[in-house]
Structure 1
């Protein structure tokens, strides 16, 4: 259980008591984050069998639980993705409801020529499995391009990347260009717009 998730949900003081009960239960099921960042997103993945079990714990029908999940998304800025296979992907946290302006940090600025084939992406909530780097073509760097394969921490690391930046849609040769592309692709999934300058920091951190 994530104590941070429970405290966050309690702080929202949702007006609808039934929706608040559902969200508190989700918070209790949210795994504790390995990220030492109080603003980092939190999340969990529910399957249809989980919905039936959780609804019973609250003394409501499974369909009512699903309706409460949909109502929750309308009340709180968060991601609640309802998949066709019955799975529900839920991501929430302070970065959704109270986004803060990015702070400037002094970090070593990597040059484009220093980028290796596989490098970690350090953005909280995406840092467990996401990678980026420079892919050479036929052993030639001058023919190569930047790429990124980004997964939310709640994703299956063996599954398809949630965001895949690669040719032919994206033919990028600099870190700045990659940061711009990631900022554009990640915004709909985060619910907030993250400046490319901050994305660049997470790339070269």
Structure 2
């Protein structure tokens, strides 16, 4: 974050508070152990106390949350009906990487990584050929807490699912996740977890 020179002191305080509230597995002194993408959910009912910690009014805190994505690469989703703020970001979002890993070819093969927080350790997706030579996409999604040898909670594969492209796969995953997450992410965010290449560490 410091390398981005966020000069607005209040914005810095809000961002640092979010970082403090984020539970990230791994050793912060070993960057390779820290997940690239992290997230947290804030209850709107907690905003007054969080605002007090930053030293601003609750409505200004909400406004700062909405504007923070303009200063830091992150998603801030406000679910008004549920009274929940969903925030997704990564440890490298505030620090430009030294070099990017070559972008993988996502138009064939697999397995490819699925980088949704909480599901990124063991979940994969890719392409498979059908009995008549057609190509479909599949996904096997395993929650991190279930472990590497668990059966997938979500298994998207023919013949139940005939998925032809990544946009359709992201939409199917969004629907399939509904029973497993308190706030299902939009398909556009799921697509980024399917397609964005990993970033290298300094």
Q: Give TM-score scaled by structure 1 length.
A: 0.53
Aligned to 1:148: 139
Equivalent residues of 1:48, 1:87 under 8 A apart: yes
Pick the aligned partner of 1:77 from 66, 73, 94.
73
**Greater percentage in helix:** 1
Aligned to 1:157: none
CA–CA distance in structure 2, aligned partners of residues 152 and 11 of structure 1: 33
Deviation at 1:57, TM superposition (A): 1.8
Q: Structure 1 residue runs of 4+, over 2 Å off?
A: 9-13, 32-39, 93-105, 120-126, 128-135, 141-153, 164-172, 177-182, 185-196
Deviation at 1:81, TM superposition (A): 0.9
Aligned to 1:33: 25
SS of 1:49's partner is: helix
CA–CA distance in structure 2, aligned partners of residues 86 and 45 of structure 1: 10
CA–CA distance in structure 2, aligned partners of residues 134 and 195 of structure 1: 14
Which is further off, 36-45 or 67-76?
A: 36-45
Equivalent residues of 2:116, 2:190 under 8 A apart: no
Aligned to 1:88: 85
Deviation at 1:104, TM superposition (A): 7.8
Does 2:182 match 1:189?
no
CA–CA distance in structure 2, aligned partners of residues 166 and 16 of structure 1: 51
CA RMSD of aligned residues (A): 5.0
SS of 2:163's partner is: coil
Equivalent residues of 1:148, 1:166 under 8 A apart: no
Aligned to 1:51: 47
Equivalent residues of 1:40, 1:93 under 8 A apart: yes
**How many residue pairs end up in the alignment?**
161
